[in-house]
């Protein structure tokens, strides 16, 4: 089995609808390579971790699939992360006893009601302004998503915008979408599934006009092809890189092109 097929076998145990499985997989692939990407941080992550006095490989064996902060069934571990302006900080990340727990955790975090609805219908009601005094970056992201308000678009795009509205990542949604799509295409080829998220759906007008109330990445090589994963900051990081959510948006070890 490859890393992708092994991870998919774990995800299958969650009993999710097919479209949710197909979204969870590329996000988990890009955010933490299914929890397997903590052992080979890049040079920047190593150097900055030393400044904070932490082990850049502390996440090895954590079963943390999504660079999720907090405490899991096996506790937590410290790891470097970055704010949207690129400034580093140390966050506490979840550690789980099993891979299934790690997969279930990212599923709960990722698949909020608005994301589920986006995956089901492809309809995007419009962006949510989460900040009282948004920065220029936050305003630009809001304005970008606003142009798709009230439209039925590709479910994968609507899900990324909804994920952004939920505050899951700080990266510009256009860049995050690009990275998710790269991993989605690789998974479609590797797993031979029928793609459910990349065509625009026709939905009843009553659904399309109903507003919704529901509402840290690692770049590892594909074990079957040797190609690098697409980090969810839109860049391809050196093989077995570190986490993303911040820097220019939010994770450890992200590098600019």
DSSP codes joined into one string, 5-22: HHHHHHHHTT---HHHHH
**DSSP code, position 234:** S
Does position 242 have pLDDT exceeding 90, yes or no? no
User: 211 pairs with which residues across the strands?
Assistant: none
Does position 206 have pLDDT exceeding 70, yes or no? no
- Distance CA(150)–CA(178), nearest Å, equals 22
pTM to 2 decimal places: 0.79
85 vs 5, residue with greater confidence = 5
The CA–CA distances, whole Å, from 204 to 66, 149, 153, 236 equal: 34, 17, 14, 39
Per residue in 51-88, pLDDT tens? 999 999 999 999 999 999 999 999 999 999 887 678 89
Residues 172, 249 contacting (CB under 8 angstroms)? yes
Joined together, the tokens standing for residue 156 give: 């994968």
Q: What per-residue confidence (pLDDT) applies to 202?
A: 57
Per residue in 121-167, pLDDT tens? 999 999 988 888 988 989 999 999 999 999 999 999 999 999 999 99
The pairs formed by 50-57 with CB atoms below 8 angstroms and a separation of 24 or more are 51/88, 52/78, 52/80, 52/88, 52/90, 54/78, 54/79, 54/80, 54/90, 56/80, 56/242, 56/252
- Distance CA(97)–CA(102), nearest Å, equals 8
State percent of the chain over pLDDT 90.
68
């Amino acid at each position: 089995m490859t890393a992708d097929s092994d991870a998919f076998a774990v995800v299958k145990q969650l009993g999710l609808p097919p479209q949710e499985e197909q979204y969870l997989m590329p996000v988990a692939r890009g955010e933490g390579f299914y929890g397997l990407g903590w052992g080979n941080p890049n040079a920047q992550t190593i150097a900055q971790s030393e400044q904070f006095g932490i082990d850049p490989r502390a996440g090895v064996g954590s079963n943390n699939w999504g660079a999720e902060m907090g405490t899991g069934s096996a506790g937590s571990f410290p790891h470097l992360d970055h704010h949207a302006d690129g400034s580093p900080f140390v966050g506490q990340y979840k550690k789980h006893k099993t891979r299934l727990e790690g997969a279930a955790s990212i599923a709960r975090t990722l698949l909020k009601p608005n994301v589920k609805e986006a995956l089901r219908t492809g309809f995007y009601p419009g962006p949510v302004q989460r900040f009282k005094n948004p920065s220029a970056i936050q305003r630009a992201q809001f304005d970008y998503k606003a142009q798709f308000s009230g439209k039925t678009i590709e479910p994968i795009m609507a899900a990324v915008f909804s994920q952004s509205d939920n505050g899951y990542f700080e990266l510009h949604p256009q860049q995050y979408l690009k990275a998710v799509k790269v991993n989605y295409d690789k998974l479609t080829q590797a797993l031979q599934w029928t793609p459910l998220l990349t065509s625009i759906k026709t939905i009843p007008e009553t659904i399309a006009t109903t507003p919704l109330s529901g509402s840290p990445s690692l770049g590892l090589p594909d074990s079957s092809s040797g190609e690098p994963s697409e980090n969810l900051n839109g860049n391809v990081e050196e093989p077995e890189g570190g986490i993303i959510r911040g820097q220019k948006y939010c994770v450890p070890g992200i590098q600019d092109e």
